[in-house]
Amino acid sequence: MGMIIAIISGKGGVGKTTATANIGLGIALNNRRCVVVDFDIGQRNLDMTLGLENRVVYDMIQVMDEEASLRQALIKSKISDNLYFLAASQTRDKTALDSLKIKQLIEDLSSEFEYILLDAPAGIESGYEHTIEFADTAIVVVNPEVSSIRDSDRAIGVLDSKSQKVKDGFDVDKYLIINRIVPEMVESGEMLSSDDILEILSIKLLGKVAEDKGVIDASNQGVPIILNPKSMAGAAYRRIADRLCGDNVPIEEPKVQKRGLVGRLKGMFS
């Protein structure tokens, strides 16, 4: 059976979908079969981040309603034969989700893939609850700011109350990704430190990802940043995927970037 991982945030705009796409590809590049599933019914952004928006014919709701087979709806990545994608519906809303049908879908995916990544919608409404319902593990993506931490703490509370694993008497494993870190702002106290975030949320740290302007361009082009060997964020996602695959990779702290003379002069007169 595959590992079912819900990727959650509580708050929108923290980079959760970007993290899902890059981690999924990183796992696939480790020669593990992985599927990423977009649970954001009515929105659907994961397909664009993966560069697969033009290949979507059937979605997860059509599979669950038996209008299409799972084989018909799964889309293979252009980059790795080990990565597949299952799209959310853009024409339905979250009321189309049904627990029994979701359970069957995840069981079918688990029989074929080693890793099943579920990209949860922002917030803690019904769509979020359905995403975490049958998860073995949750990855919480936060930005180092108070509102993101607060909303993620609420999302963890729902996870620890309403997931099926908890109802069965077990704990859901929880891991933290701190995303969009600006070391200079952490150093100056404008952003929360990693230690502060870990103390508040009290879950295991999986990785730290620095702010990287190349992420937006990569997402717009449908080419995950993990493929850019010069990207700090891409390297961080690669290490996160390696850890999920069982490798003992140390967590690297994003470093303050040294500025040249021109950068220092700009700073003096800004």
Q: What residue segments make up the domains of the chain, in order of their start? A: 3-269
Place 259 in a pLDDT band, splitting at 50, 70 and 90: low
Average pLDDT, the chain: 93
Pairing type for strands 3-8 and 115-119 reads parallel
pLDDT digits (tens, 9 = 90+) for 46-74: 999 999 999 999 999 999 999 999 999 99
Place 257 in a pLDDT band, splitting at 50, 70 and 90: low
In the structure encoding, which two tokens stand for residue 103, read together? 């359970």
* Helix, strand, coil abundance in the chain, percent, nearest 5: 45, 15, 40
Q: What is the pLDDT of residue 268?
A: 43
Residues 6 or more apart whose CB falls under 8 angstroms from that of 59 comprise: 73, 86, 87, 88, 89, 90
Please say whether the beta carbons of 41 and 64 come within 8 A.
no
Place 43 in a pLDDT band, splitting at 50, 70 and 90: confident
Place 119 in a pLDDT band, splitting at 50, 70 and 90: very high
Q: What is the pLDDT of residue 270?
A: 39
Q: What is the dihedral of CA 249, 251, 256, 260, to 10 degrees?
A: 0
Between 76 and 91, the higher pLDDT residue: 76
Strand partners, 4: 116
Task: Give the range among 116-120, 183-187, 203-207, 252-256 with minimum mean pLDDT.
Answer: 252-256
Per-residue pLDDT at 244 exceeds 50 = yes
Q: Above pLDDT 70, what percent of the chain? A: 95
Place 2 in a pLDDT band, splitting at 50, 70 and 90: very high
Per-residue pLDDT at 83 exceeds 70 = yes
Which residue shows structure tokens 């949750």?
138
Which residue shows structure tokens 């560069």?
51
Among 55, 113, 41, 58, smallest CA distance to 83 is for 113
Mean pLDDT computed over 177-202: 96
Place 122 in a pLDDT band, splitting at 50, 70 and 90: confident
Strand partners, 208: 178
Per-residue pLDDT at 258 exceeds 70 = no
Per-residue pLDDT at 260 exceeds 70 = no
Q: What is the pLDDT of residue 134?
A: 97
Place 255 in a pLDDT band, splitting at 50, 70 and 90: confident
Residue range 3-269, CATH number: 3.40.50.300
Between 237 and 123, the higher pLDDT residue: 237
Per-residue pLDDT at 115 exceeds 50 = yes
Give, for 254, the enclosing helix (H) or strand (E): none
Q: What is the pLDDT of residue 262?
A: 52
| DSSP string for 72-96 | HH-EE-SS-TTEEEEPPPSSS-GGG
Strand partners, 34: 83, 115
Is 162 exposed, middle or buried, given 0-12, 13-18 or 19+ CB atoms closer than 10 A? middle
Q: What is the pTM of this model?
A: 0.93
Q: How far is CA 168 from CA 6, 56, 115, in A?
A: 18, 36, 22
Per-residue pLDDT at 155 exceeds 50 = yes
